[in-house]
Chain A
Amino acid sequence: MTIADRLEDCISKEAVLCLMQNMESLREIRIRIGQPVQIVAGETFQAGEPVDLKMMKNMLLKLTDFSLYSREEEVKSGYFTLDDGSRVGICGKAACQDGKIVQLTHVGSMAIRISRACPGCAGPIVESMIHEDTLPSTLVFSSPGMGKTTMLRDIARQLSILGHQVAIADERHEIAACVQGIPGMDVGPCTDVMDGCPKGLAIGQMVRAISPEVLVTDEIGHHQDAEALSDAVRCGVTIVASAHGESLEALLNRPILARMLNEGLFKMLVQLGECPGKIIGQWRFQGNNWEGGQFQCV
């Protein structure tokens, strides 16, 4: 079922028509109460009547398969993932307790980011990786919406096809889009996926349980991720991860990422930008593991 089918009865016919016409290049759908539906597909379109409260409620129910309770934890964290890997970000009125969101009561806006497979897009990165004696741990970074997750998925798929045992810690269901534990996206024949589990927990468990050669994970940056990734690298596992950052300087300004980079946890950095999937920079780590070093532009 496409996103246009899912939203068919919830938004105006003009908006559905606009969605269907731009299905090929569709990247985002932004829905706000009181505003027409915004469709981002190369250029940005505004379509149909303004969305009202009832339409928003129907949309939320339909996108959660009329099972709001099953996505409650995800909704609390501000997003949930659809079966095809597309991510629905939510904003609204949050009820907080002890500094944590206990419920998101009134949803005021939604941003649906469309997930799409792009087989072969990671070719240059994989070529650089296999060129060396041992696969280098690699960090892909960019501003949001530049295709980091798509790139990770394709790196996993290509390395898996080459015969490497790949494990994916897919906390947000975005890389493999698993449904009941089975990947909905092509992630390769030698790939194991731990779906919906916090990265820190999943990485440790997968390293112990299934001995992967390559471990792929999305959007690192927390203290627990750093600990788990360091442990995995010490165990001899190659890490392929992504992080938000518009430049190498910006990455180095994030303390946890800076520590990981300075320790030489990642041997290769790849920056995406300008348009989704475009590689605009590549760096190699020069130095010794755990003792520090520098990244040099390739």
Chain B
Amino acid sequence: MRIALALCLVMGSTFIGQALSASSRRRVALLKNWILGVKMLRIHMSGMLETVDKALRMTDCPAMVQVSENMQNGQSAATAWQSLREKLCRHGNALDALKTSDREVLDNLFENLGQTGRSAQSMHLQSILKQLSDQLENARMQLSECQRLYVTVGFLVGLMLALVVI
């Protein structure tokens, strides 16, 4: 009985450790989604010459679609993003896992979106993709570190509790 309880404690603590790194995992997923979104944006803006709001609507990124909806009221992409940013990044909302540096890249994305000629827009999106890829790389490294750390700590805590129980 005690051995079974000890095993449960070890396993439970390990899972808790893994759950603690969920925020980092969500950050990675979000950044991947934004990278895909920006790639789609580039296709629709540079290739098909769609307007910004239509191009944003064509992406699979929910936040971009929301920005596009806000643009229907005659707002620029930057204004539409700024009015959504706080709400989306608040705890428990869609973009809460993003770090300040990630948000700065997104601010930069929307600040200049649609405001210049075709080649300048293409270069802008290319630069944003590079910045987002760097952030993703960084997020992946943090995730692997966090995962290893939290799982190890969880396992050790579980082991200690198991020893106490036994």
A6 contacts chain B at the CB level, 8 A cutoff: yes
Please report which residues of chain A, range 54-103, place their CB below 8 angstroms from some CB of chain B when the two chains form the complex. Answer: 61-62, 64-70, 72, 103
Which residues of chain B come closer than 8 Å to A246, judged between CB atoms?
A: none
Q: Please, how many residues of chain A have a CB less than 8 angstroms from a CB on the other chain?
A: 16
Does A52 reach chain B (CB closer than 8 Å)? no
The yes or no answer to B118 lying at the interface (CB within 8 A) is yes
B114 touches A67 (CB 8 A): yes
Contact of B116 among A1, A6, A8, A69 (CB under 8 A): A69
Interface size (B, Cβ < 8 Å)? 19
Beta-carbon contact of A6 and B114 below 8 Å: no
Minimum C-beta distance from A229 to chain B (A): 29
Tell me the total A-B contact number using a CB cutoff of 8 A: 52
A9 to B121 CA separation, bound complex (whole angstroms): 25
A5 within 8 A of B: yes
Whose C-beta in chain B lies nearest to the C-beta of A104? B117
Q: Please, how many angstroms separate the alpha-carbon atoms of A61 and B78 in the complex? A: 12
**Which residues 50-92 in B have Cβ within 8 Å of A in the complex?**
50-53, 71, 74, 76-77
Bound Cα distance from A8 to B114, whole angstroms? 20
B119 to chain A, nearest CB (A): 8
Say yes or no: B77 contacts A68, CB within 8 Å. no
14 A-B residue pairings within 8 Å (CB atoms):
A8-B74, A61-B76, A61-B115, A62-B74, A65-B51, A65-B114, A66-B52, A66-B76, A66-B114, A67-B45, A67-B52, A69-B49, A69-B121, A70-B114
**Pairs of residues from A and B, 8 with the lowest C-beta to C-beta distance, nearest first:** A67-B51, A65-B51, A69-B118, A67-B114, A66-B114, A69-B121, A70-B49, A66-B76
